[in-house]
Amino acid sequence: MKKTVFWIGLIVLLFTLLSNVNAGGDQEKSGKAGAKEVVTLKFTYWGGPDEKTAVVDAIKGFENTYDWIKVDAQHIAGDYDTKMATMIAGGTEPDIAYLNLGQAFPWADANKLYNVYDLIANDPEMDKSDFLDSIWYNWAPGKSFGTNSAVESMAIFYNVDMFEEAGVPLPPAKAEDAWTWDEFVHVAQQLTIDQNGNNALSSGFNPDNIKQFGFQFSTWYAHYMTMVYSNGGDYISKDGSKFTLAEPAAVEAIQKLADLMNVYHVSPSAVQAKNIPGGAAGLQAKKVAMKQDGQWSLLALGNSGMNFGVGVLPKLKKSVTLVLGAPTVIFSSTKHPDEAWLLYKYLADAQNVLNLVAGGLWMPILKDWYTKPELVSKWAEGNPAHPEGYKDAIMRQTLEYGVAGVEYYVMNWGELDSLVNPALASVWLGKKTAKEALEEVEEKANTLVTGRYGF
């Protein structure tokens, strides 16, 4: 008898615990706090030391502007996803936060995130069109959990001195002048030099002993997808029903990139790349002449003091750049959506995080900062992180030819990537062709394709 009571008690306890987990997020939103009553917002974010300092400063500025709002800003240094998962499971999620997309979309589907369009609609000062078009995360028609915390896109970064030494023309900065693939490979070959001083075009070139590579790229999605988009391909079909990376346009783009490593030897393989210092250092040490990278690398390049330039990536069919980032979101459990929106807007205004924007780590998310010369001059010129050509090669390229990357619209992206990315490893190593590797995973990938966001 006692045993039965014990077990019943235990099970009741368990269910209470479990149901609390659910109840935590669903608290009724209490009415708007009185105008001058002190309101505290919990805000969580990630980032390196520079980012942290800038955010802390921005928060101070915000608290001075809106003196009835206190911000409990928590910088989470590592394992961000796990901590957010724990918080939401325990019903202690913040009011406003940076969030990774692997969590943002499912949580938005479960109504845990605020529809930012509602907040904008009620705000006379702001309109949806004030933000860059390509950076909205929509999880259903008319529903968005917001935009990027900052805009990032892909471009070519190069060491000017190395081009001059080789007597090769610099990469073009304007989309309309973008190199074709063949032109690009030819330039990269001239800039790839072995230990004996032969470049990759000469007959004596020794691909096993390369001193300097023409072009370096990484093998995660932002790099190959830029080329896939440029070639008219996509990750999934328009209707979100099918995996399309194994189709000719995508396969061709990926194969061309892999050939840079294994056929032309102008790019370091995954293994060779381990000996090339990351960030700005590889360019500075003259281990590579050109690098495909995100615009955030400007921060390190600007600090390095080297003579570098930026250019648009080569084109296959059309010149594009891939836009990426991660969103700032407002949790629907917040008791203070209006104040959270004020903070959201404040952080969206590049003026308040100008150090990061002028320093090269971030790009602004509001269109005015791309189009109004007096605002552009505050960040995109006249500082070491933004060399000549930046405004064409990255700023305008992002505004006019920016394509929102896969994370904006591929449902179940995380799981798909954990299948596809490892499969591509053998392509980068030259063990399989892109066609073979992608057709091998096509069937499995199709089972993971669950649809397309973006409305």
Partner 1 sequence: MRNILAISGNKKHPSGSLARNRKQEVLIGVLFASPAILGFFIFIFIPMIASLIISFTDYALVNKMQFIGLDNYAGLFNGSDPFFYKSLGVTTYYVLLSTPLCLLFAFSMAVLLNNDSIRGKAVFRTIFYLPTLIPVVASSMIWLWLFNPDMGLINTILRALHLPTGMWIYDENTVIPSIVIMSLWTTGGTMIIFLAGLQGIPRQLYESVELDGGNAAHKMFYVTIPLMTPTIFFNLVMGLIYGFQVFAQAYIMTEGGPNNASLFYVFYLYRTAFKFSKMAKASALGWILFIVIALLTLVVFKTSKDWVHTEGGK
**81 near partner 1, rule: CB under 8 A:** yes
| Residue 122 binding partner 1, by CB under 8 A | no
For 161, phi then psi, to 5°, come to: -60, -40
Both tokens assigned to 313: 């990536």
> Does 38 contact partner 1 by CB under 8 A?
no
Distance CA(387)–CA(407), nearest Å, equals 29
Q: Which of 448, 449, 452, 453 binds partner 1 (CB under 8 A)?
A: 448
Please give the DSSP secondary-structure letter assigned to residue 356: H
Question: What one-letter code names the amino acid at 191?
Answer: L
Q: Could you tell me which residues come within 8 angstroms of residue 54 by beta carbon, excluding any fewer than 6 positions away?
A: 353, 355, 356
Beta strands 288-294 and 402-404 are unpaired
* Angle in degrees, CA 53, 299, 340, rounded to 5: 40
Q: Which is nearer to partner 1, 13 or 201 (CB)?
A: 13
User: Among 95, 96, 97, 112, which residue sits at the site for partner 1 (rule: CB under 8 A)?
Assistant: 112
**Least distance in Å: CB of 163 to partner 1?**
27
By CB under 8 A, residue 106 contacts partner 1: yes
Residue nearer to partner 1 on the CB measure, 14 or 201: 14
Only segment of 107-115, 225-233, 254-262, 366-374 that touches partner 1 (CB under 8 A):
107-115
> What element of type H or E holds 277?
none
Backbone angles phi, psi at 152, to 5 degrees: -135, 150
- Pick one of 274, 371, 377, 430: the residue that binds partner 1 (CB under 8 A): 274
For residue 398, what is the enclosing H or E element? helix 397-401
Indicate which single residue of 54, 120, 393, 423 sits in contact with partner 1 (rule: CB under 8 A): 423
Q: Are strands 321-324 and 152-159 parallel, antiparallel or unpaired?
A: antiparallel
- The residue among 101 and 357 lying less far from partner 1, judged by its C-beta, is 101
Nearest CA to 286 among 260, 303, 304? Answer: 304
Residues whose CB is less than 8 angstroms from the CB of residue 143 and which lie 6 or more positions away in sequence, other chains included: 108, 115, 117, 455
Is residue 158 within a helix (H) or strand (E), and if so which, with residue range? Answer: strand 152-159
Pick 81 or 338: Cβ nearer partner 1: 81
User: Of the two residues 32 and 444, which places its CB atom closer to partner 1 in the complex?
Assistant: 444
Residue 285 binds partner 1 (CB under 8 A): no
Q: Is 281 near partner 1 (CB under 8 A)?
A: no
Q: Which of 62, 107, 136, 409 binds partner 1 (CB under 8 A)?
A: 107
Q: Copy the structure tokens of residue 253.
A: 């783009």
Query: Which phi and psi angles does 376 have, rounded to 5°?
Result: -55, -40
Q: Does 18 bind partner 1 (CB under 8 A)?
A: yes
Backbone angles phi, psi at 363, to 5 degrees: -115, 150
Number of C-beta neighbours around residue 92 at 10 A: 12
Where in 152-191 is the site for partner 1 (CB under 8 A)? none
Q: Measuring CA to CA, how many Å separate 240 from each of 227, 234, 245, 444?
A: 20, 11, 13, 15
91 binds partner 1 (CB under 8 A): no
If DSSP codes are grouped into helix, strand and coil, which group holds residue 45? Answer: strand
Closest distance to partner 1 from the beta carbon of 241 (Å): 17
Cα(14)–Cα(7) distance, rounded to whole angstroms?
A: 10
8 Å CB contact between 406 and 413: yes
- 372 touching partner 1, by CB under 8 A: no
**Distance in Å, CB of 22 to partner 1, minimum:** 6
Closer to partner 1 by Cβ: residue 85 or 170: 85
Task: Take residue 401 and report the two structure tokens written for it.
Answer: 């030819």
Report, in Å, the least distance between residue 441 CB and partner 1.
Answer: 8
Query: CB under 8 A: which stretch of 40-48, 252-260, 280-288, 444-452 binds partner 1?
Result: 444-452
Report the C-alpha gap between 221 and 169 in whole angstroms. Answer: 29
Min CB(327)–partner 1 separation in Å:
16
- Nearest approach in angstroms of CB 151 to partner 1 is 24
Residue 82 CB, nearest approach to partner 1 (Å): 5
Q: Segment near partner 1 (CB under 8 A), from 98-106, 121-129, 135-143, 190-198?
A: 98-106
CB of 412 to partner 1, least distance (A): 8
Binding residues for partner 1, rule CB under 8 A, total 34
Q: Which stretch binds partner 1 (CB under 8 A): 27-35, 105-113, 201-209, 377-385?
A: 105-113
Binding site for partner 1 (CB under 8 A): 10, 13-14, 17-18, 22, 25, 81-82, 85, 88-89, 102-103, 106-107, 110, 112, 270-272, 274-275, 414-415, 418-419, 422-423, 425-426, 444, 447-448
